[in-house]
Amino acid sequence: MSTRKHAGATIITAALMLGLAACAPATTPAATQPAASQSPDAAGQVSGTITVFAAASLKATFTQLASDFEAKNPGTKIVLSFAGSSDLVTQITQGAPADVFASADTKNMTKLADAKLLDGTAKNFATNVLEIAVPPSNPASIASFADLAKPGVKVVVCASQVPCGAAADTVEKAAGVTLSPVSEESSVTDVLGKVTSGEADAGLVYVTDVKGAGGKVKGIPFDESGKAVNTYPIAAVGSSRNKELAAAFIAMVTGADGQKTLGEAGFGAP
């Protein structure tokens, strides 16, 4: 082959190789992968303080998650405020300075979405079901949901506007049992407090509350609880002044680390 032909073949081959390289699919850099597949809290990437409003049933897990997040992200501070989801919605609607809201149901989150008070779309991160909590000695001999309606049994539930109360209403209808509670509380932790203090024979709380209480109460599961599964969503509040930090915390909650902590506490997958 002549030198000219050989050079021409070399040029053509090189051109073909360049063309194939240009047509090959690009590899997405790790930094642009979806949040679920990357570390949600890379140290040094976020700073400052945010306030997280969270449902009362999340107190133990979110306290742990906030501590873990701060440890992995020096220079950050997560301030936590716990209450019934409906109370938190009222506070945010009235202008309370929240950066993130985690609700015990989708209904209350929807209220903020409808009011245009969220930044982006809420993400579901956990589920929970009710369980009967009784004192360790179970003085009223509670063994089923129907037993809560027996004469003389002092039962405590959440108020209907609170997620745990709405779930209790759903369970009552599913079981065909009407309860006559001695009190209706504004949060699930208040219900648990009535049981642990001996003021009630039984209370309707979440599975996670019974587990978190350790030996202070005994849990009585019941089949009808499956009729009222609460889904927990989390979202950034539109008025947040540190949206980057809010997004990073949400990423941790919905990511592998958060899901592991929530699962260990008894929460179900979203």
What's the pLDDT tens digit per position in 144-165?
Answer: 999 999 999 999 999 999 999 9
Helix, strand, or coil here: 53? strand
The answer on pLDDT for 252 being more than 80 is yes
The highest-level CATH class for domain 128-229 is: alpha beta
Distance (Å, rounded) from C-alpha 172 to C-alpha 189?
20
Average pLDDT, the chain: 87
Contact 267, 130 (CB under 8 A): no
The answer on pLDDT for 18 being more than 70 is no
Q: Which fold has domain 48-126+231-265?
A: D-Maltodextrin-Binding Protein; domain 2 (3.40.190)
Residue ranges of the binding site for molybdate: 57, 85, 188, 206
Q: What is the mean pLDDT of residues 209-217?
A: 95
Domain locations in the chain? 48-126+231-265, 128-229
Task: Report pLDDT digits (tens) over 168-193.
Answer: 999 999 999 999 999 999 999 999 99
Least confident of 21-30, 218-227, 235-244: 21-30
Note the pLDDT of residue 45. Answer: 85
- Same CATH topology for 48-126+231-265 and 128-229? yes
Percent of the chain with pLDDT strictly greater than 90: 83
Distance (Å, rounded) from C-alpha 207 to C-alpha 219?
8
CB atoms within 10 A of CB 44: 8
Task: Report pLDDT digits (tens) over 72-90.
Answer: 999 999 999 999 999 999 9
Handedness of CA 212, 217, 223, 229 (dihedral sign): negative
- Establish how many alpha carbons lie within 13 A of residue 170's alpha carbon, considering only the half-sphere containing its beta carbon: 17
Note the pLDDT of residue 44. Answer: 52
pTM (2 d.p.): 0.82
Confidence bin at 31 (pLDDT 50/70/90): very low
Note the pLDDT of residue 147. Answer: 98
Handedness of CA 269, 243, 100, 89 (dihedral sign): negative
Which two structure tokens, joined as six digits, stand for 163?
């997620």
Residue ranges of the binding site: 57, 85, 188, 206
